[in-house]
Structure 1
Amino acid sequence: MSEATAAGPDGVGDAAATRRAIEGVWRIESAKVVAALVRMVHDVGFAEDLAQDAIVAALAQWPESGIPANPAAWLTTTAKRRAVDTYRRHARRDRALQQLAHELAEETAVDPAAGVDHVEDDMLRLMFICCHPSLTPEAQATLTLRLVAGLSAREIARAYLTSEPTVAQRISRAKRTLARSGAALEEVPADERTARLATVLGIVYLMFNEGYTATEGTDWMRAALCDEATRLARILTALAPDDPEVHGLSALLELQSSRLAARLDDAGRPVLLDDQDRSRWDGGRIRHGLDALARSDRLVAIEGGVRGPYHLQAAIAACHSRATPSSTDWPRIAELYAELARCTGSPVVELNRAVAVGRAYGPDAGLALVEQLAEHPALAAYHLLPSVQGDLLERSGRTADAALAYLRAADLATNAREAELLRARAARAVEP
């Protein structure tokens, strides 16, 4: 019996299940709500406060009334009412008050299931606002991941291989800086969008990665986050049709998201690439991804042949999409990772290159690269370092050492499903 149906006489089980469902709704809908509110109140910090007030109201009301058919519309309407009340209490912002009151009056006559207006435009507008030039690049990325992707400080810290307090400080400072700068929170002009585009691309990429392999919790993936990032990347190709990296990012996300259905078994456990049923990969997304990569190729040729990091990652994903596990061109993938490492200087890319080198030229060649990375400070608590080491050790026949590496990785992993997978691999490595 599930927790949701295992309530005692006092209904505690049902209440707990409802609260978890509400928290799940918040993770999915909070970015849309905040984005809509920013357009209306022109204040990022105030918009987030209003959204938080709305979810508090939901936690109080939904256990009794049930979760509405369109929770984002309910939360946005509730937040607007809070904004009107706040403006009235402070007797200011008369024009904003009139506008909100007018919108609220119109909405009472509309079925909330019709949806939140301007969500698509609002999400992109909020992303470009968070990339305002008054903020540092780190603050731009951190604030956008917090508001648009709905990531926690811990999740953002993992993406940037930094500490949680550092991320929390960046978020607070970024909000204050936007408020002090008097930054216009309207539609961002086309020339300013171009200047902020690279940062937006990086944030969409990190947003997708968090959905693809969640930092923490009991679910290995957050497919809705992957879908949202993929959708935003498609929209960006229309905003910047001549930018090869925009198409490269879109190609990468299409190709990676094509595997989503095959990455979990029926019990929700992770399924690694070699073990996936590739007939479950989404052929439509693969075609879209390959088309976007071809478009990026043509634009790269026009611009002089220099391939960017998203294009290179998409090319790697394309190698997998065109192959079976036994026919994968690992030497080609290793070459692409080497080019990507030169382009980015990222230790995580070097770790991925070690995997490809190990598959192309033998596990000892991959282990030699891993050993060079073992002392890198950014990877000190990165669970995938001992995970990759364990895989290469197992392939080389050093099963006891592999099991120890997997267990180290499991201890560092913050996602319950991933830790479970690593412990299972440790046990299998030493089975007779």
Structure 2
Amino acid sequence: MAATGLLGFNPYGKAPVIDIASKPANLYIQLRQKEEAKKEALDKYLMDYEKTLNPNGMRQIDQNAFLNKLGEAKQYYLQNREKILNPAKYGAEYQSTYYAGLRNAQSLIGQSKQAAAADKITAQHFTAQKDLNAPDGYVQALELSHLPIDDPRYRPLDITQWKFYKSHNPIEYANKIYSKIPLSESEPIPYDVKGKPGYFYTKTTSKVSPQYKDAILQEGYLNYINDEGLRKEMNHTFDTNKSEVKRLEDKYKTKIPNAQALAGIYTWDLQPIKETSTDIKPTEEYKSYLIASRSKNKPLTPAQTAVKFLQGGVAALKTSDANVINDYFKPFKSQTKTSTKGEAIGFENIEILPEGKVKVNYSIPINSGGVTIKRNTNRIIDTKSPSLLQELTALYQEFLGSNVGAEAGATAVNPNDAAGGKSSGKKVIKGF
């Protein structure tokens, strides 16, 4: 039997045997070995490639989606391993499908890492907006950016598209508008001091000149467009505070049809008004009653001066101002006595009591065995009493002594007419 190159000759006459030493058989075996080696190499490559798909750095919320994609690709591989590893025999479709699954998983890693970086930037940007308010829609956009990236609703957040704003502060806003505008000052206007007859003060008012009104209204309209805080405040006021809108309409005699118009009037209404008041001063008429108190350390002896002093004392007591009263009655201290110990004896001060009363504090001398002792005492006077002038006369005589020459010229004055110097015709300074 002739040799074929595949079958060998059996010298024992039995069945033919495979001739593995022949070239065709050897080539076939080598080809099969190469194919198996290629399949093993491809299998190892694919397994190693899967291991490189590392979810580290992904957002936690995206890792489940990645594992699902990777699991789907592995499941497909196990089900179609022979076809994936032998594209020459089964075509490239199975291998391409498997590769696409791996690419999808790998793409999720990249997208999630980008989303994680964007979330970090968003958090840093939000922290930097200290004391500012998020614009409308920002919270909803933030929620969408934190959904899993495979969620159809997921949207990355672009921080450059969101402008945070400051809450409206009327004081800061007014300072910004009016800090460079000069104020016009009015003429001083005198006002009486309540509860202090004979005293007055003047008040000067400074305002923005009406010539600036149109410019400031326009600035308010423009700020409504550019200032989110002001716009929200005006929208809220216009929609919910009709009484405030009505107040401004009545005050400036104008109609406010919308929130932008309100912003203009509101800005004008914030104009600063500064009032400057002078110190309290006695009127010229009241000053005449104070003339007598300017002579210190010498008794007031002329009858006319004594009467005028007492009339002024009535007006001083009615001010209910301790400083004014004690300043006026300083002459009562001009004739103090001295105790044996060297203590001053006489008038000390006047205290203000409730219900229009005052307490006159003074001391009197007590002589005993050639020794002069100081004894403190006081007298309560009702400034509303009809006999107020008589009580002051008694104090005058006690602290300043009598003056006979004054008796003829001194007449009683009704305390209600004291400031005007009207006489009742009754003598009260007996013994002057």
Fold equivalence (TM over 0.5) = no
Give TM-score, length-normalised by structure 2.
Answer: 0.22
Give TM-score, length-normalised by structure 1.
Answer: 0.22
Q: Which has the higher strand share?
A: 2
**Higher-RCO chain (CA-CA 8 Å, sequence separation at least 6):** 1
Q: Which has the higher helix share?
A: 1
